[in-house]
Structure formats: structure tokens, C-alpha cells
């Protein structure tokens, strides 16, 4: 029988970058009471700090990150991928002994490589990545149930203290997520396929449609049917976040793009040669994937 927790898992939790992801963690902590006894938020943007105060989703807000982290038992970096290593390096000297630093970044391998040498051996840095989000960003976009039933992937280094990893696993489980530990390289390959390539395709297809509308002075976007509309939701995502993801997961993303191009070419050939069986088989596989996502409560 699983034990029902009665005490907050963390005493003081500091969120660096309370945007969509960070503010969702703060809201869940407020709603639940068993995640952290006290929450502190800090952000490089004073307007974000002011908004977090207005929304009243953190117990304390400090515009000085080195002061914000000083008392924290867990410091969670919810900043864009390109900012994770510089922020971790800058804040590490201000942590109290025994504190755990973690992140929520969408890319792992290159960020961990950038951190190499910056953290003392055995430093309690536990990389994590909730596979949950929306196309919105900023502190207004978050919600307490964002992580419920979604996966959180963790990629600890070989020398990460196991009790630190266990604590961050427990934190995500209290946020409602299912957790899995994996190698950073494997993480980046999987995410290139299930998240980064779909975003690249969505941004590109919207650009193509927009250009077509301009070229033909036509109504391409006026009559956008729901298939195209679904792409526009994904394409509405934050440019800085996605710039950083694409540049930091360059190799894995380009490899997936090559595979996709080959498959798209094969589909084009099937259409060109009237290969009805191949067309049907490709569509059938797509439907099966959608069905299995629904069965796994991921759609």
C-alpha cells in the first residue's frame, strides 16, 4: 500500500523563471500544501516578478536571484534552455550546503556538457524535463494541474547523489507526473522526434502558408481548415524557447529531420505513382499512433 504523505516534501522551494512551467509548479505547490512549505520566486525580468506578486502564487518574490536561492532546499531553473547553464553557474556559489539544483529544460545533453566542470564532483544537480506544456508562456499561462498524468523525464549524471535524484523524482510525482530516468542522449533523441521535429514542421508550414497568401494575394489563411488550425496552435509557441531548443539539440533534430524528409519523399512517390496501398498503410499507422496516445491518456 502506498503511504499518503502528510508533510511537505521540500521545506523551501525556489523557482527561477516563473513562466508557464515555473508558475505551474508554484500554483501546484499552493494548491497541494504537500510539495513545499515555503516558495520563493525570482526572474531576470522585473515585470515577471511584479506579476507573480500580483497573482500571489509564491510566498516570496525576490528580484535578486542570489538572495532568492540562499535559503532554498531545492532550486528549480525554469528558464530557456540557453540560459540554464549560465544561470546554474552563477547561482551555484549562493546555494546553501545540501541544496539540490534541478531544471525543467527541454534539451539535456549539451546543457549538461556546458555545466561540466562548473559543478563540484557529486554536486546535487538533477536534470528533469516535464513532458507537458502549452503554446503559451509567462506567469499568467500556468495552471496547477499541468503535470498531472504527464511524464517527467530525469537524466541524472553517473555521479549525481541517488538521494537527490530520489527527491526530485518524488517532487514530480507529488506534482502528479509519472517519472522515468534515462540517459541524456536518449532523452534528446526521443524529444527530437516527439516534440522538436513537430514544432519545426508547424513553424515551417505556417511560414509556407503565410508566404503563399502573400504571393497569391489569396485567401489561404481565411479558409484555414481545422487540420491547418491545429498546426497554428503549436506554431504559436515562444520564439526564444524554441530557438534555444533547436540550437541546443541540433544533431538529434537534424537527424530526425533527415528521416522525416525520406519518409515524406516516399509518400510523395506513392502519390506520384498512384500507390494506393502505400498511401493507406501510412495513414493507417498515423491513426494507430493517435489511438495508442488516447489509450495512454496522453491525448
Ligand X SMILES: O=C(O)C(=O)C[C@]1(C(=O)O)C=C[C@@H](O)C=C1
Cα distances (Å, whole numbers) of residue 272 to 99, 215, 261, 277, 278 = 60, 26, 16, 13, 11
Supply the DSSP string of 53-87, one letter for each residue.
HHHT-SSEE-S-HHHHHTT-SEEEE-S-HHHHHHH
User: Given the complex with ligand NAD, which of 123 and 153 has the nearer CB atom?
Assistant: 153
Among 87, 164, 171, 200, binds ligand NAD (CB under 6 A): 87
Q: Is 80 in the site for ligand X (CB under 6 A)?
A: no
For residue 180, the SS3 value is: strand
Q: Considering only 131-139, 222-230, 270-278, 281-289, which stretch makes contact with ligand X by CB under 6 A?
A: 131-139
Query: Shortest gap between Cβ of 194 and ligand X (angstroms)?
Result: 7
How many Å separate Cα 59 from the centre of its chain? 24
Among 102, 91, 87, smallest CA distance to 153 is for 102
User: Given the complex with ligand NAD, which of 148 and 213 has the nearer CB atom?
Assistant: 148
Q: Specify which residues 164 forms β-bridges with.
A: none
Residues 105-124 that bind ligand NAD (CB under 6 A): 105-106
Q: Specify which residues 60 forms β-bridges with.
A: 40
Q: Considering only 6-14, 128-136, 267-275, 285-293, which stretch makes contact with ligand X by CB under 6 A?
A: 128-136
Indicate left, alpha or beta for 160 from its phi (over 0: left) and psi (-120 to 50: alpha): beta
Q: Is 195 in the site for ligand X (CB under 6 A)?
A: yes
Cα distances (Å, whole numbers) of residue 46 to 18, 43, 72, 87 = 12, 7, 21, 16
User: Given the complex with ligand NAD, which of 91 and 275 has the nearer CB atom?
Assistant: 91
User: Given the complex with ligand NAD, which of 21 and 35 has the nearer CB atom?
Assistant: 21
User: Given the complex with ligand X, which of 205 and 270 has the nearer CB atom?
Assistant: 205
Size of the site for ligand NAD (CB under 6 A): 28
- Judged by beta carbon distances under 5 to 8 A according to partner kind, the member of ligand X, ligand NAD, none in contact with residue 17 is ligand NAD
For residue 201, the SS3 value is: helix
Query: Shortest gap between Cβ of 131 and ligand NAD (angstroms)?
Result: 7
Residues 226-265 that bind ligand X (CB under 6 A): 234, 237
CA-to-CA distance for 95 and 286, rounded, in angstroms? 47
Contact of 184 with 108, CB cutoff 8 Å: yes
C-alpha cell at 79: 528558464
- Judged by beta carbon distances under 5 to 8 A according to partner kind, the member of ligand NAD, ligand X, none in contact with residue 78 is ligand NAD
Q: Is 134 in the site for ligand X (CB under 6 A)?
A: yes
Q: Considering only 127-135, 155-163, 165-173, 248-256, which stretch makes contact with ligand NAD by CB under 6 A?
A: 127-135
- For ligand NAD, the binding residues (CB under 6 A) are 16-17, 19-22, 43-45, 48, 78-81, 83, 87, 104-106, 129-130, 133-134, 137-138, 238, 241, 245
Amino acid at each position: 500500500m502506498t503511504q499518503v504523505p502528510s508533510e511537505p516534501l521540500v521545506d523551501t522551494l525556489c523557482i527561477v523563471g516563473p513562466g508557464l512551467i515555473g508558475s505551474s509548479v508554484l500554483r501546484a505547490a499552493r494548491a497541494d500544501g504537500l510539495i513545499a512549505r515555503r516558495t520563493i520566486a525570482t526572474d531576470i525580468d522585473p515585470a515577471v516578478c511584479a506579476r507573480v506578486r500580483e497573482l500571489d502564487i509564491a510566498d516570496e518574490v525576490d528580484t535578486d536571484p542570489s538572495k532568492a536561492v540562499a535559503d532554498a532546499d531545492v532550486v528549480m531553473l525554469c528558464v530557456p534552455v540557453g540560459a540554464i547553464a549560465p544561470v546554474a553557474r552563477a547561482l551555484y556559489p549562493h546555494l546553501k550546503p545540501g541544496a539540490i539544483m534541478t531544471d525543467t529544460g527541454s534539451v539535456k545533453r549539451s546543457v549538461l556538457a556546458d555545466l561540466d566542470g562548473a559543478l563540484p564532483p557529486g554536486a546535487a544537480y538533477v536534470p528533469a524535463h516535464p513532458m507537458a506544456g502549452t503554446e503559451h508562456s509567462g506567469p499568467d499561462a500556468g495552471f496547477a494541474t499541468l503535470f498531472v498524468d504527464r511524464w517527467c523525464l530525469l537524466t541524472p549524471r553517473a555521479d549525481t547523489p541517488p538521494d537527490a535524484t530520489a527527491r526530485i523524482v518524488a517532487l514530480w510525482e507529488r506534482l502528479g507526473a509519472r517519472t522515468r530516468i534515462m540517459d541524456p542522449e536518449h532523452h534528446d533523441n526521443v524529444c527530437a522526434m516527439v516534440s522538436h521535429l513537430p514544432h519545426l514542421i508547424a513553424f515551417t508550414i505556417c511560414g509556407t502558408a503565410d508566404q503563399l497568401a502573400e504571393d497569391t494575394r489569396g485567401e489561404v489563411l481565411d479558409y484555414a481548415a481545422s487540420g491547418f488550425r491545429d498546426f497554428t496552435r503549436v506554431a504559436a509557441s515562444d520564439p526564444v524557447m524554441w530557438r534555444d531548443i533547436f540550437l541546443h539539440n541540433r544533431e538529434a533534430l537534424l537527424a530526425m529531420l533527415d528521416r522525416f524528409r525520406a519518409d515524406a519523399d516516399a509518400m510523395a512517390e506513392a502519390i506520384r505513382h498512384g500507390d494506393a496501398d502505400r498511401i493507406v498503410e501510412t495513414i493507417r499507422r498515423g491513426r494507430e499512433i493517435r489511438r495508442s496516445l488516447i489509450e495512454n491518456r496522453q491525448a
